[in-house]
């Protein structure tokens, strides 16, 4: 028996399971202090001690967290290629603009080859096995008195979508929109997998560069920027930015004349969940030619065209029109003095729900790119936000009160209606109902045999507007039970507030070890190894394999919980 895996049956917390303990290697700026003792825990993935035929292993003294350990082997640890140091991340050390980035350091990283055999990501998340939340027993047993809702981050879904790209992204590079979800663990995961980033403010640039992303992988995609943010981008080395007006050109000329500019044009879908053309984008026929000429007169360099047709549109022809306009502007720009046109940004707004598909729109976009941008000299980037974030997060909300009321139907007959009150609402994660036009679906944590009954779901605040679902059907639910809401990662947490004294949700992370195996296979990168410090911050209460050691939960964790821990 190896010394690192001493078995301590007497200290096992789960009947029938043996517990292995290993010394945690210390080091790194974000490590816990030496006095923060850790207790023993079941080690998933340990060939010597793993229980037979075990699909899921829970750290028993955790709350809302679970490490799902399928039968796939854990990824083989490798020497991880860390992200290059960010020379321009420190505003006090401006980066030289004379050195251009190499292929892999461009915005979005290197695009996949057209015959690279992209793989459709599996429609699954670590948070679910057979329709049940992996952390279900932990929620049920340990969090009955929680004061906060618990969004579960199924980090494997975002990782799968970044590595196993859909055919749509074969011809382009990926630039994740930070505004969709700025959770540091999600951003760090995407950065480790080679995506670029669409930032719209100084704070977002600070976040992305703080984790080691080179400024060449960032586009400052806000056509109406504050002057102070432009100056910060200049100091940080983020050269690529968008514009759509004369005022913005003058501002950039004053504060960052060496910028690499991308003109934002307007091409709206006839119907979109979130239209953007009303606020951003110049007319490609009447305004864009004049702005390109003005930029040339001012001595500013325009290197590309961008557009955003709107989020959540089902119209595919709008992409063809926008790409046609872009091709015409590429030719015009070359004629007026912009000889280095090399970037086409097709925007975002692609669906990100767990069971959504973008095959149809991908076929249309790829066909238009083959027709109008068949030459390989133009780098095409996309800005998916929902695609990575939406399905990766599942909200778990506690039913803390209920009330039965009687109301009349259209025929005047009285019917019973149950009102359920949960600990998150439209001022928290469900702001997406008001501002992002999302329709959420409530599910019970575990299947119930009872017949669904008419009901409504309400948030915790005292505002009558705080209604999550005005009319739905659910089986009878007792106070203290949990409701889950899938696809809650897009435009939810970044907008949440603590209105009326109800706290913003705290994230509990879930990870599937098979995903690390897949990510290692396709990216030659061990995500556990690469994101060790960030994982320690988020996964501090669960067990995870890393070489021949484990991270052990704090002793008596459940016994010490109170509302402040959520």
The stretches of 298-443 forming alpha helices (DSSP H) are: 317-335, 359-372, 386-389, 431-435
- Any bridge partners for residue 484, and if so which? 396, 443
Calpha distance 373→52 (Å, rounded): 55
Q: What is the largest CA-CA distance in the chain?
A: 79
User: Residues 416, 453: contact at Cβ < 8 Å?
Assistant: yes
How open is the CA angle 228-234-235, to the nearest 5 degrees? Answer: 90
Look up residue 297 and give its two tokens. 């007169």
3-state secondary structure of 415: strand
Calpha distance 191→209 (Å, rounded): 10
Residue 315: exposed, middle, or buried by beta-carbon count in 10 A (0-12, 13-18, 19+)? middle
3-state secondary structure of 368: helix
* Residue 462 falls in the annotated catalytic set: yes
The stretches of 424-475 forming alpha helices (DSSP H) are: 431-435
* Angle between the N-to-C axes of helices 155-163 and 184-192, in degrees from 0 to 180, rounded to the nearest 10: 30
Calpha distance 327→368 (Å, rounded): 10
Which one, of 557, 564, 421, lies nearest residue 59 by Cα?
557
Tokens 């429609």: give the residue: 123
Catalytic residue among 274, 432, 462, 467: 462
Exposure of 345 in the CB half-sphere (CA atoms within 13 A): 35
Calpha distance 360→356 (Å, rounded): 11
Q: How do 343-345 and 301-307 pair as beta strands?
A: parallel
> Cβ of 100: how many Cβ atoms within 10 Å?
10
User: Residues 502, 461: contact at Cβ < 8 Å?
Assistant: yes
- Any bridge partners for residue 197, and if so which? 176, 218
Calpha distance 281→27 (Å, rounded): 48
Calpha distance 137→549 (Å, rounded): 25
Listed in sequence order, the residues at least 6 apart from 114 whose beta carbon sits closer than 8 Å to its beta carbon are: 170, 171
3-state secondary structure of 417: strand
User: Residues 64, 542: contact at Cβ < 8 Å?
Assistant: no
User: Residues 164, 174: contact at Cβ < 8 Å?
Assistant: no
Listed in sequence order, the residues at least 6 apart from 205 whose beta carbon sits closer than 8 Å to its beta carbon are: 199, 218, 220, 229, 232, 233, 236, 238
Q: Annotated catalytic sites, by residue?
A: 462
């Amino acid at each position: 028996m190896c010394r690192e895996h001493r078995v301590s049956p007497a200290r096992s917390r789960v009947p029938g399971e043996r517990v292995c303990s290993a010394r945690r290697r210390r080091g790194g700026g974000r490590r816990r202090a030496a006095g923060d003792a850790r207790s023993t825990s079941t080690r998933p993935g340990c060939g010597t001690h793993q229980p037979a035929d075990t699909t899921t292993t829970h750290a028993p003294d955790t709350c809302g967290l679970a490490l799902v350990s399928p039968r796939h082997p854990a990824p083989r640890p490798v020497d991880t290629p860390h992200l290059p140091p960010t020379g321009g991340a420190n505003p006090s050390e401006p980066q030289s603009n004379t050195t251009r980035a190499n292929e892999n350091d461009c915005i979005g990283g290197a695009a996949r080859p057209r015959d690279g055999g992209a793989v459709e990501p599996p429609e699954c998340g670590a948070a679910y096995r057979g329709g049940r939340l992996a952390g279900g027993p932990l929620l049920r047993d340990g969090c009955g008195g929680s004061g906060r809702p618990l969004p579960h981050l199924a980090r494997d879904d975002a990782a799968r979508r970044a590595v196993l790209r859909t055919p749509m992204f074969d011809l382009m590079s990926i630039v994740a929109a930070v505004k969709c979800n700025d959770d540091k663990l999600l951003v760090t995961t995407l950065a480790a997998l080679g995506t670029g980033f669409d930032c719209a403010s100084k704070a977002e640039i600070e976040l992305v560069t703080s984790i080691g992303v080179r400024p060449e992988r960032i586009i400052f995609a806000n056509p109406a920027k504050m002057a102070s943010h432009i100056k910060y981008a200049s100091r940080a080395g983020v050269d690529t930015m968008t514009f759509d007006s004369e005022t913005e050109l003058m501002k950039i000329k004053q504060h960052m004349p060496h910028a690499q500019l991308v003109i934002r044009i307007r091409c709206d879908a006839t119907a979109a969940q979130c239209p953007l053309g009303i606020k951003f984008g110049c007319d490609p026929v009447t305004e864009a030619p004049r702005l390109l000429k003005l930029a040339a007169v001012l001595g500013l360099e325009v290197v590309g065209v961008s557009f955003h047709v709107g989020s959540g549109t089902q119209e595919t022809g709008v992409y063809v029109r926008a790409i046609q306009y872009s091709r015409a502007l590429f030719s015009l720009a070359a004629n007026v003095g912009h000889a280095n046109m090399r970037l086409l940004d097709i925007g975002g707004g692609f669906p990100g729900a767990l069971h959504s598909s973008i095959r149809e729109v991908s076929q249309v976009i790829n066909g238009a790119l083959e027709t109008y941008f068949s030459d390989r000299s133009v780098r095409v980037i996309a800005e998916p936000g929902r695609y990575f974030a939406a399905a990766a997060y599942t909200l778990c909300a506690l039913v803390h009160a209920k009330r039965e009321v009687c109301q009349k139907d259209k025929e005047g007959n009285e019917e019973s209606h149950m009102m359920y009150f949960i600990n998150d609402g439209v001022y928290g994660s469900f702001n997406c109902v008001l501002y992002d036009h999302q329709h959420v679906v409530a599910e019970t944590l575990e299947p119930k045999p009872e017949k669904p009954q008419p009901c409504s779901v309400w948030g915790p605040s005292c505002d009558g507007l705080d209604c999550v679902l005005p009319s739905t059907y659910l089986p009878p639910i007792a106070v203290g039970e949990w409701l889950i809401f899938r696809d809650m990662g897009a435009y939810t947490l970044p907008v949440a507030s603590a209105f009326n004294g109800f706290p913003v949700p705290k994230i509990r992370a879930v990870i599937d070890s098979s995903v690390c195996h897949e990510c290692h296979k396709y990216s030659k990168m061990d995500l556990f190894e690469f994101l060790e410090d960030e994982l320690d911050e988020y996964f501090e209460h669960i067990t995870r394999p890393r070489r021949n050691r484990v991270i052990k939960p704090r002793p008596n964790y459940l016994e010490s919980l109170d509302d402040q821990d959520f």
